[in-house]
Amino acid sequence: MSLISVVSATFSREDEIVRELAGSTGFPLVADDDFVKRAAVRSEMPEAAVARAFSARGSVFNSFTRERERAVANLKVAVAEAVAADEIVVSGFCAHLVPGAIHHTLRVCLVAGMKSRLESAQAAGIGDKAAAREIRRQDEDLGAWVDDHRTIKDPWCPSLYDIVLPTDKTTTHDAVRLIVESLGSEALQPTAESRLAVEDFLVEARVEQALATVGHHAEVVCREGNVTLTINKHVLMLGRLEEELQEIAGPVEGVRSVETRVGKEFHRTDIYRRIDFETPSRVLLVDDEREFAQTLSERLQMRDVGSAVAYDGESALKMVRDDEPDVMILDLKMPGIDGIEVLRRVKITNPHVEVIILTGHGSDEDCKTCMALGAFAYLQKPVDIDALSETLRKANEKAQSSVGAGDSLDDHSP
């Protein structure tokens, strides 16, 4: 039986149509939220971290954490397993993860004109400006996602879909009827070739997940169980990396053979490195002394510590909200929102973030105040880099154990 994938513009009556479609066909409905939950369980990542993969705005820490790549790899496995079960409705961003080779998939796009979308948002109690911002943000997110996975920048491009339905000009009943009638098309019936494409998709996703789990990232293609891994960044010891990738991919269920090759971007100037998940990789440095902050960030990065910099309290609070650091190294004396106020707010909104105070102007009273507010440590400038690195390591361990013990990031999702 055919599959149905549905991609929708927000505020286009998408929920109403998809629910009726699932009811009419009897197919289980699996939406992005369901895939996020499955991927979070599989990867042991917080659901909010997995869901951030859908955002066009990448995390400032992603080059150190590869969190997005890990999230997408686990989302692909969740989608592949659902598709292998057959007769489902896949709704949302994840619909674009279903490969084109699985041609017994009816690909549907639901979209309305901007005027209709704004009216729907306003009917839901969202003001004019807020509605326009939200529609623009979600369209940008979907556009970036489609560009990443289908290499087409326009998320509404007709070539991506079998049916594009203008929901402001079509009733729910008529939309569902048209989709159900289209399911009977001979072109959408499963064949041996499309069934094999499902199996290859599952193997491909599992290999990508196995690589991501241990900190590797390579392009994965599977054909009849034969896997090709493409390395697109320069590698100092290519042979050793190829052996390691083959050792990881080889035992994955469904893999018959593994071949590695270098891609067209192999000779780029950046160097491929495996991500070490034990090393602190989400450290936010907050200091208005720009030269000091940049120098410290570079010294930490030389130790493979992933760090980003904010130069004032307001920017720091925004980065805590948007990028969810694990550890913050925070100066006290800054213009605008000072360090003590930043610490106080962070511990209210993001208590799992461990804060190390690093200041050249603090007093004994400041130290007592900071520790009472929940600071992990209070250090004075100048600081020995090895002592700071050890304090940072311990703070990171505590932050990770807090999340693992149930201090979920979900409550603070953007």
Residue 267 domain flag: no
Q: Note every long-range contact of 313-316, with CB atoms under 8 Å and residues 24 or more positions apart, other chains counting.
A: 313/286, 313/337, 313/338, 313/339, 313/341, 313/342, 316/284, 316/286, 316/342
Q: What is the pLDDT of residues 257-286, one digit of tens each?
A: 999 998 876 555 455 556 666 778 899 999
Q: Which domain holds residue 180?
A: 3-188
Choose the final residue of a domain: 155, 188, 221: 188
Domain stops at, among 143, 163, 188: 188
pLDDT at 404 over 60: no
One domain, residues 152 and 222: no
Average pLDDT over residues 377-392: 93
In a domain, 276, yes or no: no
Structure tokens at 261: 């090759």
Tokens found for residue 125: 């109690």
- 71 and 169 in a single domain? The answer is yes
CATH no. for residue 408?
A: 3.40.50.2300
Looking at the fold, whether 61 and 144 belong to one and the same domain comes out as yes
In a shared domain, residues 134 and 40: yes
Note whether 8 and 152 are same-domain residues: yes
Helix 385-404, helix 290-302: angle, nearest 10: 70
With contact defined as beta carbons under 8 Å apart, do 65 and 281 qualify? yes
Residues 238 and 202 in one domain: yes
How far apart, in Å, are the Cα atoms of 174 and each of 17, 165, 180? 10, 10, 10
Would residue 105 count as lying in a domain?
yes
Q: Tell the residue number behind the tokens 């907050």, with chain if given.
A: 286
Residue 274: inside a domain: no
Q: Are residues 163 and 184 in the same domain?
A: yes
294 and 258 share one domain = no
Residue 162 belongs to a domain: yes
What total of structural domains would you count in the chain? Answer: 3
CATH of the domain at 210: 3.30.300
pLDDT one-digit tens code per residue, 245-258: 999 999 999 999 99
Do 90 and 9 share a structural domain?
yes
Sheet holding 3-8, edge to edge: 29-31, 89-91, 3-8, 105-111, 163-166
Q: Are residues 88 and 225 in the same domain?
A: no
The tens digit of pLDDT for each residue in 100-150 reads 999 999 999 999 999 999 999 999 999 989 999 999 999 999 999 999 999
| Amino acid 269: pLDDT | 46
Claim to verify: residue 62 and residue 132 sit in the same structural domain: yes
Write phi, then psi, for 336 (nearest 5 degrees): 75, -125
To the nearest 10°, report the CA torsion of 50, 53, 54, 58: 140
Average pLDDT score over residue span 275-298: 87
> Which whole-number Å values give the CA distances from 71 to 60, 79, 180, 218, 313, in the listed order?
16, 12, 32, 14, 30
First to last CA, the chain: 38
Average pLDDT over residues 362-383: 94
pLDDT at 410: 43
C-beta of residue 224 within 8 angstroms of C-beta of residue 196:
yes
Task: Give residue 302's pLDDT.
Answer: 85
Same domain, 299 and 404: yes
Give 395's DSSP letter: H
| CATH (domain of 149) | 3.40.50.300
Q: Which of 162, 188, 214 is the last residue of a domain?
A: 188
- pLDDT confidence of residue 333: 92
Residue 152 belongs to some domain of the structure: yes
What's the pLDDT at 272?
Answer: 55
